[in-house]
């Protein structure tokens, strides 16, 4: 085994002539990063819009609920 020149290398190192994907990704990292930043930015924009809509619905629902409670309280307290 020691006389074998392939000692310490994997099958892929011996027979695969394509470049290592990790090396290719490292060289093209700036384009990948830009794509991720764009997707994250779009996702945050959507999240912000949904949160804004949800908060306005929550605020409106709370206001309606408090007014309902106030009306019910006034009806019961004014009975004579």
- Does residue 52 register a pLDDT over 90? yes
Average the pLDDT over 3-21 and give the result: 63
Domain membership flag for residue 6: no
What does pTM read for this prediction?
A: 0.44
- Selected residue with higher pLDDT from 61 and 22: 61
Q: Into how many domains does the chain fold?
A: 1
For residue 22, the enclosing domain spans 11-77
- Does residue 4 register a pLDDT over 70? no
26 three-class SS:
helix
- Cα–Cα distance measured from residue 39 to residue 37, given in angstroms and rounded to the nearest whole number: 5
- Cα–Cα distance measured from residue 46 to residue 19, given in angstroms and rounded to the nearest whole number: 38
- Cα–Cα distance measured from residue 10 to residue 20, given in angstroms and rounded to the nearest whole number: 13
Domain membership flag for residue 5: no
Domain membership flag for residue 1: no
pLDDT of amino acid 64: 95
- Cα–Cα distance measured from residue 38 to residue 44, given in angstroms and rounded to the nearest whole number: 10
Domain membership flag for residue 4: no
Domain membership flag for residue 3: no
φ/ψ of residue 70, rounded to 5: -60, -45
């Amino acid at each position: 085994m020691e006389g074998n020149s392939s000692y310490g290398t994997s099958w892929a190192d011996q027979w695969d002539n394509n470049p290592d994907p990790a090396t290719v990704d490292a060289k093209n990292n700036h384009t990948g990063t830009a794509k991720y930043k764009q997707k994250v930015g779009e996702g945050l924009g959507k999240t912000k819009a949904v949160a804004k809509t949800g908060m306005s619905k929550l605020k409106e629902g709370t206001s309606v609920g408090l007014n309902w409670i106030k009306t019910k309280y006034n009806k019961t307290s004014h009975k004579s």
